[in-house]
Structure 1
Amino acid sequence: MARIHLDGVGHSYDGGRTHALQPADILFEDGKTYALLGPSGCGKTTMLNIVSGLLFPSDGRVRLGERDVTRAAIADRNIAQVFQFPVVYRSKTVFGNLAFPLKCRNWDKARIERRVSEVAELLGLTARLGRSARSLTADEKQLISLGRGLVRDDVAALLMDEPLTVIDPQMKFDLRRRIKQANERTRHTVIYVTHDQNEAMTFADEILVMQAGRVIQRGTPKDLFERPLNAYVGTFIGSPGMNFVPATQSGGEIRVGGEIIRNDAPTIVGGTLTVGIRPEHIRLSATDRGLPARVIGVQDQGNVRVVELELADGARLKAKLPREHAIPADALRVVMPSQHAHIYADGVRADI
């Protein structure tokens, strides 16, 4: 295991005219699990391939621990990588697939059997060790790909590039659980690429949200959900994303539709003001003071309902309510608790 330091690392595929990955200084600490989260084309896989050695960066240095591996071959980096589509040796059994990296390192038979058994038990593959890899399902094959990364106890890091893309949605939860449990025991440094916020939020210790080749915010899942630094992170994280409604300021007061939402605001110079609040934090009331609103739609999501609302000034927002919470039929008011209402100027957090 090792700390990974991208020291001013960036990459251009066109000789420097544009950067797929903007030069930046990024540190991945030893033994932690990270997710690179963002839409297609934001630079996630480029960053991952630079770490693994599949791609040499245009700018900066890559360090594993104290070693500079910027131009080192893949084999010299001692990194395991799991790709989007399962890679298995179809002619081998499950045992043979898991044992292959260890045989290449000349481990003795007893040591190989012991280690393969440990990893198979960890991933729920023990009963399948004797089966041919060609007869396995897609999720089982991806578990083998993951197992080949975990079976080596000397890897510096484990990299995963959207490993659950081809997996049946009903199996994804179980696989995420198995991957997380496996890493809690092995404590590899893990970098996990995904465009799925649910995968990132349930799997990673820390998430790096990317846009247009840049990391625009990094933090724990709780940090990103409760304190997004800009409107992009606020809307990208969460389902539905954060609401942003027009606001005005007078002294320390922030108002929405004439109602005071915050009375402790800092002085904000310039910019279009909005209040950002999560749908989960909005309350609906027929008696409390709040913003008059009308219901324009309700999405039933099983144990919760997403209520689409329109304020008196035409601004729209959503509230996410437990099913047992009634939706007032008359004199509906939207209540925005001040501790959950954040202030943004031109889409950037202004009340930090």
Structure 2
Amino acid sequence: MAEIRLENVGHSYDDGATFALNPISLTWKDGNAVALLGPSGCGKTTLLNIISGLLTPSVGRVYFDGVDVTDLDTAKRNVAQVFQFPVLYDTMTVRQNLAFPLKNRNVAKDVIAARVEEIAELLGISKYLDIRPLKLRSDLQQLVSLGRGLVRKDVPAILFDEPLTVIDQNFKWTLRGRLKEMHNNTRHTLVYVTHDQTEALTFADEVVVLNKGDIVQTGTASDLFLTPQDEFVGFFIGSPGMNFLDGKVNDGAVIVGSTQIGSSAIANGNVRIGIRPEFLSLTSSGAGVAVKINRVEHRGGYKLVHADAAQGKFVAKLANDSALTAGQSAHLAFDPQRTYLFRDSKLCGTVDTKGAN
């Protein structure tokens, strides 16, 4: 287990003309499970490879427990890494593949045997131990690869690069739970790259959201969902993501179109009003921003209502007993605790809707 500290770490693949990862500084506590979350090309795998030693950063330094490891290769950093696709020896059985990292370090045979059985049980692959990996489905091969990363107890960190991509969707839920249980028991420092927000938010103690080579926000699942500091985080986190409508602030009044929806202490000017579908209300009559409903999706336990206002499109998440239908006019109201204001994509204030007209 290790504290991982990055000081002004950045990387360019073209001698500094552009940066795939802009210089960042952060510290992850010993024993934390950290998810690097973002779309393809945002810099998350580059960051992971810098931590593992597969890449030397163009700028900055990497520390494990206060020791500078920037110039050490992967083997000398003693980390385990699990890649997106299986990396296995097909001349060996599954059992031998799982045992190999321990055998390489001269661990006692009885300890190896017990640990292999433990990891196989965790991943649900015990019945495949004496089969060669090439005879298994791709998702089972990836479980074996995952097991090779988990089998050692002496590593300071385990690094995962989208390891569940080829795993059956239904089994992903089970496996996430097992990995979380393992982490709670062993308290290894885990760094987990994914573009899947469900994986990140359910697995990690701390989520780092990246976009275009920058960290846009770091926090818990609750932080990212309830108080996004950037429009990208609001839109990227959540299913569906945060709604944004154009508005303005005029002498303390927050206005959408011609309707005052509340008040704010920020300076006058144009704003983007952000609110999640869960915190919107729609009524067929009464006060609020006038909208037109264009589609209603039945999602089993709730409905998603898609509608248009003059200031933009939005989605509201409503109870199943909502009687609103496509083509109907309605009025939009905002939750007083969860309505945010953004300028230049950054959070700049909140809305007190008690003063709404």
User: SS at the partner of 1:143?
Assistant: helix
Q: What are structure 1's unaligned runs of at least 5 residues?
A: none
Deviation at 1:331, TM superposition (A): 5.5
Deviation at 1:102, TM superposition (A): 0.7
Is 1:247 the counterpart of 2:247? The answer is yes
Letter paired with 1:28: W
Deviation at 1:187, TM superposition (A): 1.5
Letter paired with 1:139: D
Q: Is the 8 A contact 1:139 1:171 kept in 2?
A: no
User: SS at the partner of 1:338?
Assistant: coil
Which residue of 1 is the match for residue 338 of structure 2?
Answer: 340
Q: Is the 8 A contact 2:296 2:325 kept in 1?
A: no
Which residue of 1 is the match for residue 318 of structure 2?
Answer: 321
Letter paired with 1:345: R
Residue by residue, what CA displacement relative to the aligned partner does 1:275-305 show, whole Å, maximum 9, x if unpaired? 1000111112235532222211123333332
User: SS at the partner of 2:143?
Assistant: helix
Which residue of 1 is the match for residue 290 of structure 2?
Answer: 292
Q: Give the 5 Å matches for 1:44-123.
A: 44-123=44-123
Q: Give the 5 Å matches for 1:178-217.
A: 178-217=178-217
Letter paired with 1:349: L
Deviation at 1:242, TM superposition (A): 0.8
User: SS at the partner of 2:341?
Assistant: strand
TM-score normalized by the length of structure 2? 0.92
Letter paired with 2:31: G
Deviation at 1:139, TM superposition (A): 2.1
Mapped to 2, the partners of 1:226 and 1:307 lie a distance apart of 21
Deviation at 1:95, TM superposition (A): 1.6
Deviation at 1:269, TM superposition (A): 5.2
Mapped to 2, the partners of 1:307 and 1:254 lie a distance apart of 24
Mapped to 2, the partners of 1:4 and 1:262 lie a distance apart of 44
Which residue of 2 is the match for residue 37 of structure 1?
Answer: 37
Mapped to 2, the partners of 1:191 and 1:225 lie a distance apart of 21
Q: Give the 5 Å matches for 1:252-291.
A: 252-263=252-263, 265-268=264-267, 270=269, 272-291=270-289
User: SS at the partner of 1:57?
Assistant: coil
Q: Is the 8 A contact 1:262 1:341 kept in 2?
A: no
The answer to which of 205-214 and 167-176 deviates more is: 167-176
User: SS at the partner of 2:337?
Assistant: helix
Is 1:12 the counterpart of 2:12? The answer is yes
Q: What are structure 2's unaligned runs of at least 5 residues?
A: 351-357
Mapped to 2, the partners of 1:6 and 1:58 lie a distance apart of 13
Deviation at 1:336, TM superposition (A): 0.9
The answer to which of 186-195 and 244-253 deviates more is: 244-253
Mapped to 2, the partners of 1:186 and 1:131 lie a distance apart of 28
Deviation at 1:319, TM superposition (A): 0.6
Deviation at 1:83, TM superposition (A): 0.3
Q: Is the 8 A contact 1:33 1:205 kept in 2?
A: yes
Mapped to 2, the partners of 1:122 and 1:172 lie a distance apart of 13
Q: Is the 8 A contact 1:261 1:337 kept in 2?
A: no
User: SS at the partner of 2:56?
Assistant: coil
Mapped to 1, the partners of 2:267 and 2:244 lie a distance apart of 17
Q: Is the 8 A contact 1:123 1:182 kept in 2?
A: no
- Work out the percentage of aligned pairs sharing the same amino acid: 48
Indicate which of 300, 303, 307 corresponds to 2:301. Answer: 303
Letter paired with 1:212: K
User: SS at the partner of 2:200?
Assistant: helix
TM-score normalized by the length of structure 1? 0.93
Measured at CA, do residues 260 and 269 of structure 1 come closer, stay the same or move farther in structure 2, by a change above 3 Å?
Answer: closer
Measured at CA, do residues 314 and 252 of structure 1 come closer, stay the same or move farther in structure 2, by a change above 3 Å?
Answer: closer
Mapped to 1, the partners of 2:41 and 2:142 lie a distance apart of 24
Q: Is the 8 A contact 1:84 1:163 kept in 2?
A: yes
Q: Give the 5 Å matches for 1:122-271.
A: 122-263=122-263, 265-268=264-267, 270=269
Measured at CA, do residues 231 and 2 of structure 1 come closer, stay the same or move farther in structure 2, by a change above 3 Å?
Answer: same
Residue by residue, what CA displacement relative to the aligned partner does 1:179-234 show, whole Å, maximum 9, x if unpaired? 22222222211111111222212221111111111111111111111111121111
Measured at CA, do residues 71 and 269 of structure 1 come closer, stay the same or move farther in structure 2, by a change above 3 Å?
Answer: farther
Mapped to 2, the partners of 1:322 and 1:178 lie a distance apart of 33
Deviation at 1:339, TM superposition (A): 0.9
Deviation at 1:58, TM superposition (A): 0.8
